[in-house]
């Protein structure tokens, strides 16, 4: 049996569609033992693929060929996952809204005078 690389990655449920798998391969997000390759590459048992899916690195080894997409348990039997364990990323502070102004709760919206005081426009210096 011969299976294209994009079809194989779709069948083992790494990508939602064959088109997405093909685009990932063309874009260099999938490497075959460190090298780029075409989506039409014929997959062989024993090959190792390195996938980068939304900043998560997966290393999979082909153990059997599959052409049709099945359920997750069936797909898992056709590859071995050699990925390093994922580390939990710390949540970063938002860069869009960071306030260093402290107002008492229930004080309402600041008035014009409050805003001038907050932003330092009333400095006598």
Q: What is the pTM for the complete model shown?
A: 0.68
| pLDDT beyond 70 at 92 | no
CATH top-level class of 5-81:
alpha beta
Residue 109 confidence (pLDDT): 86
Computed over every residue of the chain, the mean pLDDT equals 85
Query: What's phi and psi for 59, nearest 5 deg?
Result: -120, 115
Domain boundaries, the chain: 5-81
| pLDDT beyond 60 at 98 | no
Provide the 8-state DSSP code for 63. Answer: -
User: How many angstroms separate the CA atoms of 34 and 42, rounded?
Assistant: 17
Query: What percent of the chain has pLDDT above 90?
Result: 53
Q: Any long-range contacts for 107-114 (C-beta under 8 Å, 24+ apart)?
A: none
**CA proximity to 39, closest of 57, 21, 62:** 21
| pLDDT beyond 80 at 17 | yes
| pLDDT beyond 80 at 90 | no
The answer to whether 56 and 18 are in contact (CB under 8 A) is no
């Amino acid at each position: 049996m011969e299976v294209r690389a994009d079809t194989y990655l779709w069948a083992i449920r790494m990508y939602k569609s064959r088109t997405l798998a093909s685009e990932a391969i063309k874009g260099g997000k999938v490497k075959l033992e460190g090298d780029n390759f075409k989506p039409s590459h014929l997959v062989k048992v024993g090959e190792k693929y390195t996938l980068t899916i939304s900043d998560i690195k997966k290393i999979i080894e082909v153990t059997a060929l599959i052409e049709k997409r099945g359920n997750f348990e069936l797909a898992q039997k056709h590859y071995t996952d050699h990925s390093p364990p994922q580390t939990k990323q710390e949540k970063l502070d938002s860069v869009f809204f960071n306030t260093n102004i402290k107002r008492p709760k229930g004080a309402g919206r600041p008035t014009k005078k409050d805003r001038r005081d907050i932003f330092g426009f009333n400095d006598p210096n």
